[in-house]
Amino acid sequence: MGVTDGSNAPPGAVGEVLYARADDYNIPADNVHHVVGGLNLPAGDWAVNADVGYWLNGNLALLHVWIYLGRPQSIDYGAFGPTIDISTYGWEPMPGTSTAMSYGSVSMSTIQINTAVPTQAVLAVQLGYDTVGATGGGGYVIRARRMR
C-alpha cells in the first residue's frame, strides 16, 4: 500500500519534494535572459518542473522561459549533455505585430535532473518589448520530486 497519512517523504527518500516560489519577481523587458529563481538540488534523480506567470507594462513582443542547470544558458540542448535536458517555452512575434498578451502564465514541462553532486535548477525568463523601457515581472513556483 502507498502512504495514506498525508506525510511528506523525508529528505533523501524517494518521493521527497522540494520547491521554491516567489509571488513578485521583477525584471526589465530588455530581451535578455534573467534568472528569477532556482532550486538547490542535493545529489539524486529528480523530476523538475515549474509554473511561471508574467506581466509587462507594455505590449509583450517576446517570451521565453527556461529551466536549466546551474551554468550559463547556451540555448543549445547539446551543451547540456545527453542525459540532462532543459525545459523551454516561448514565442517571438515579429517586432511591432504584438497587440496584446501583456500577461499570462506557462507551465514548464517536467525534466530529469540526475546528478551525483548537488546542483541548482535555474529558472530564467526573457521578456521582449515593443515599448521601450518596459518592465515586467510575475510569480513562479519551481518544484522537484526525488524519483528513485
Rule CB under 8 A: which residues touch another protein?
A: 12-14, 16, 42-45, 47, 64, 75-78, 83, 85, 87-94, 97-100, 107-112, 114-117, 146-148
Could you tell me how many residues make up the chain? 148
Q: What is the DSSP string of 96-112?
A: T---S--EEEEEEEEEE
CB of 40 vs another protein, minimal distance in Å: 14
Please say which residue, 4 or 97, places its beta carbon nearer to another protein: 97
Which residues lie across from 36 on neighbouring strands? none
Looking up cell 497519512, which residue turns up? 5
Shortest Å distance, C-beta 44 to another protein: 5
Residue 23 or 43: the one with the smaller Cβ distance to another protein is 43
CA neighbor of 120 nearest in space, from 88, 79, 82, 72: 72
Q: Is 72 helix (H, G, I), strand (E, B) or coil?
A: coil
Nearer to another protein, 26 or 107 (CB): 107
Q: How far apart are CB 34 and another protein at their closest, in Å?
A: 18
Give me 112's grid cell: 530529469
CB of 138 to another protein, least distance (A): 18
Taking the least distance from each CB to another protein, the nearer of 26 and 43 is 43
3-state secondary structure of 78: helix
